[in-house]
């Protein structure tokens, strides 16, 4: 199981279409992969931070710095993912940076043992239902065309990004066009304030599964107040950064649904702990997405196969994001994606595709 070196791979991949949210427009992903090289196996992790600190305070170049200076020095030849998580607990914050190293360690140790990540985490299904996240569009007809395309591809749930000025009318148009049976939800990425409660209550008669992160991430009391004033279930994303914040949010009544993103909470082990808590409290969870390539997507699918993930996630097929994924592509079948069953995350980068995407790679010895 001995680790010899780590390789930081920086790469770039274009998105098939611009993706607009309330905090900006993404047209490409600036990627950081961590490859751990052992005697017997490799391990891969993908960083979910964007190029700029606009979703949360982390950004990909900052993650690289934290990984090099504070996290990789905690990895020795025999360090397990569990030991790593414990040893970096004095480092405050930086969950996305920590999650990359943890994921690569898990992949390596599970590959060495021939165990899948899904099996290790406690997965109970071999495929998961797929939802898709639809960016903000300039016009309603364009939005309807995009949604129609995704429904034709077989997606089982639609999430609409919203912001002030592009919300009630757009959501109502989608509901009217595609009918009451469509599983539909919205995501504000913290674009509203508690004073907007009456405005957001106009969503109440649109039969939404949930509204995700309407208010700023640190406003748990505001979310609790909003949850009392609107009928649409409130789901938290950005606010849930740890097991403790998940427990607090649930106890305060700030959310009745949780979006779990491993990168946002420091890794797959913390993500599973939040899942376990939510399952115990009867709070439904679903797996979020950060425009991951196949490495991050493979691991997310393993997580999304746990029993508490009762809502379709933002776990879409590779072709929703990229012309050519870095791994063998994830393909939608009957609205579902298969959970990888191979050892570790069950996927690895295609060397040629990776090398065409690569901007820089550096080796760091492990001692």
Which positions lie near ligand NPG, rule CB under 6 A?
21, 26, 50, 55, 133, 187, 189, 237, 288-291, 314, 316
| Closer CB to ligand NPG, 162 or 227, in the complex | 162
CB 150 → ligand NPG: shortest distance, Å? 11
Choosing from 10, 20, 35, 261, which is the catalytic residue?
261
- In the block, tokens 């309807």 appear at 144
Choosing from 98, 120, 159, 161, which is the catalytic residue?
161
Whether 161 sits among the annotated catalytic residues: the reply is yes
On whether the CB atoms of residues 343 and 135 are closer than 8 A, the answer is: no
Question: What are the DSSP calls for 41-79, one per residue?
Answer: -EEEEE----SSTTSSS--HHHHHHHIIIIIGGG--TT-
CB 187 → ligand NPG: shortest distance, Å? 6
CB 167 → ligand NPG: shortest distance, Å? 15
Question: What are the DSSP calls for 131-163, one per residue?
Answer: EEEE---SSHHHHHHHHHHHHHHT-SEEEEE-B
- Beta bridge partners, 106, equal none
CA–CA separation, 27 vs 329, rounded Å?
20
CB 49 → ligand NPG: shortest distance, Å? 9
From residue 243, alpha-carbon distances to 46, 48, 123, 237 in Å are 22, 19, 20, 13
CB 75 → ligand NPG: shortest distance, Å? 27
Residue whose beta carbon is closest to ligand NPG: 289
Task: For the chain, report the end-to-end CA distance as a whole number of angstroms.
Answer: 14
Exposed / middle / buried, residue 243 (Cβ in 10 Å: 0-12, 13-18, 19+) = middle
| Closer CB to ligand NPG, 291 or 298, in the complex | 291
| Closer CB to ligand NPG, 112 or 325, in the complex | 325
| Closer CB to ligand NPG, 21 or 116, in the complex | 21
Of 294, 343, 284, nearest to 315 (Cα)? 294
Whether 261 sits among the annotated catalytic residues: the reply is yes
Residues known to be catalytic: 161, 261
């Amino acid at each position: 199981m001995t680790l010899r070196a780590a390789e930081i791979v920086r790469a770039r991949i274009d998105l098939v279409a611009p993706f607009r949210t309330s905090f900006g427009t993404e047209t490409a992903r600036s990627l950081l992969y961590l490859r751990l090289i052992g005697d017997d196996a490799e391990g891969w992790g993908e960083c979910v931070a964007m190029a700029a600190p606009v979703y949360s305070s982390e950004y990909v170049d900052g993650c690289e710095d934290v990984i090099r200076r504070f996290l990789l020095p905690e990895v020795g030849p025999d360090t397990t993912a569990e030991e790593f998580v414990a040893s970096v607990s004095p480092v405050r914050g930086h969950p996305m940076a920590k999650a990359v190293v943890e994921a690569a360690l898990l992949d390596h140790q599970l590959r060495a043992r021939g165990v899948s990540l899904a099996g290790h985490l406690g997965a109970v299904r071999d495929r998961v239902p797929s939802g898709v996240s639809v960016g903000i569009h300039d016009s309603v007809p364009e939005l309807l065309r995009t949604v129609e395309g995704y429904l034709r591809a077989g997606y089982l749930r639609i999430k609409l990004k919203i912001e002030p000025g592009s919300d009630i009318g757009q959501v109502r148009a989608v509901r009217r066009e595609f009918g009451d049976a469509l599983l539909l939800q919205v995501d504000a990425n913290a674009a509203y304030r508690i004073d907007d409660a009456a405005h957001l209550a106009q969503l109440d008669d649109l039969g939404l599964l949930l509204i995700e992160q309407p208010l700023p991430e640190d406003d748990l009391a505001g979310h609790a107040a909003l949850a009392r004033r609107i009928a649409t279930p409130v789901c938290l994303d950005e606010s849930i950064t740890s097991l403790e914040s998940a427990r607090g949010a649930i106890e305060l009544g700030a959310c009745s649904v949780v979006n779990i993103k491993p990168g946002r909470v420091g890794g797959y082990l913390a993500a599973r702990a939040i899942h376990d808590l939510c399952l115990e409290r009867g709070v439904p969870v679903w797996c979020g997405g950060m425009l991951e390539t196949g490495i991050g997507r493979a691991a997310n699918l393993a997580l999304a196969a746990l029993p508490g993930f009762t809502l379709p996630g933002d776990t879409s097929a590779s072709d929703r994001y990229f012309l050519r994924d870095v791994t063998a592509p994830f393909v939608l079948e009957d609205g579902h994606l298969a959970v990888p069953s191979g050892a570790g995350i069950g996927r690895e980068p295609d060397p040629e595709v990776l090398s065409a995407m690569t901007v820089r790679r550096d080796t760091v010895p492990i001692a």
